[in-house]
Amino acid sequence: MLPVNSTTAFFSTFLVTGIPGLEAVHIWISIPSCAMFLITLVGNVTIMTVIWREQTLHVPMYLFLAMLAASDLGLSLSTFSTMLRIFWLDARELTFSACFTQMFFIHTFQDFESAIILAMAFDRYVAISRPLHYSSILTNSVITRIGLAIVSRTLTVQVPLPILLRRLCFCRSNVLSHFYCLHPDIIKLSCSNSRINSSLGLFVVLSTMGLDFLLILFSYVLILKTVLRIASHGGRLKALNTCVSHVSAVVVFFTPMICLSMLHRFGPRLPSHVYMTLANMHFLIPPVMNPIVYVVKTKQMRDKIFKFFIKRQAGESR
């Protein structure tokens, strides 16, 4: 009988999956994937650099945006790496250690993003309901404490997951369902008792992204109540317009996750590429879309980026 704590019971590696039925055109699919990755890198690095260098942007809204950009960058680096390896090299094998490490970083940055979006909802609520006290409520020390709380909460719930996975045996199959390693996907391949892993994984999802989503909805109920008390129609529109970028981030991040969860639990059995598409949308689209939406919808951010590039061009031409 094989020992329960031997992760290498029958397999020494996991195999990540490409797009079923489209293996012959992976190289062509890699072109838009590379374009998405490039947009993600340029967009998020630009946002972080401009906010870092511009003192006028060292205010709560933009500091939270810099945190979101850093989280998006980490998430995209964690996911695009194996995707491009599959498309370019057909390299599908990952050792257990590599797979567990990738899983840890994907879920960690996923939780970071969820918590930062919640913090941005609180920022919008304070800005609309207490505009005169905005700077005194959201001071730099408060933002620092919020950032530390996000990191502490995320690491507290995520660190045990890869540690507990090492006690499992994997003997049913070593083929994962996605481009990358995800906790629920890995557990399905275990032939050990994975009840603790499953229960902890569910608790982590509910206590982080599930709770964050409910609190975001609650914050927008409060925001709408505040906006409806504004006398002028123009004032109400102006207040709501400050939330457009954040609402877009909420929709882009949470909608694929909720749809995927509902389909897994209550929907009919659909082809595997449907689940893969929703999972890819959840992990790959937000890092691409968030910088675009915030630059397009935020005039101050857009102006500072234009000024930043103009200064760089002027410096290079000397």
Average pLDDT value for residue range 226-236: 86
Q: Using alpha carbons only, how large is the chain's radius of gyration in Å?
A: 22
CB contact burial 237-247 (16+ within 10 A = b; e otherwise): eebeebbebbe
Res 4 pLDDT > 50: no
Distance between CA 42 and CA 104 in Å, rounded?
25
* Band (215; pLDDT cuts 50, 70, 90): very high
Distance between CA 259 and CA 114 in Å, rounded?
16
Res 44 pLDDT > 60: yes
Domains in the chain with CATH codes: 13-317 (1.20.1070.10)
Distance between CA 225 and CA 256 in Å, rounded?
28
Lowest mean pLDDT among 53-62, 150-159, 164-173, 218-227: 164-173
pLDDT for the residue 25: 83
Give the residue from 48, 156, 176, 155 showing the smallest Cα distance to 109: 155
Res 34 pLDDT > 60: yes
pLDDT for the residue 60: 92
Q: Note the Cα 313 to chain centre separation in Å.
A: 33
The amino acid at 275: Y
* Band (74; pLDDT cuts 50, 70, 90): very high
Res 6 pLDDT > 60: no
How far CA 138 is from CA of 47, 115, 124, in Å, comes to 21, 16, 11
What pTM did the predictor assign? Answer: 0.90
Q: For residue range 250-281, list pLDDT tens digits in order.
A: 999 998 888 777 766 555 666 666 777 778 88
Distance between CA 164 and CA 154 in Å, rounded?
16
pLDDT for the residue 5: 45
Q: For residue range 149-193, list pLDDT tens digits in order.
A: 999 999 999 999 999 998 888 877 788 888 889 888 888 888 888
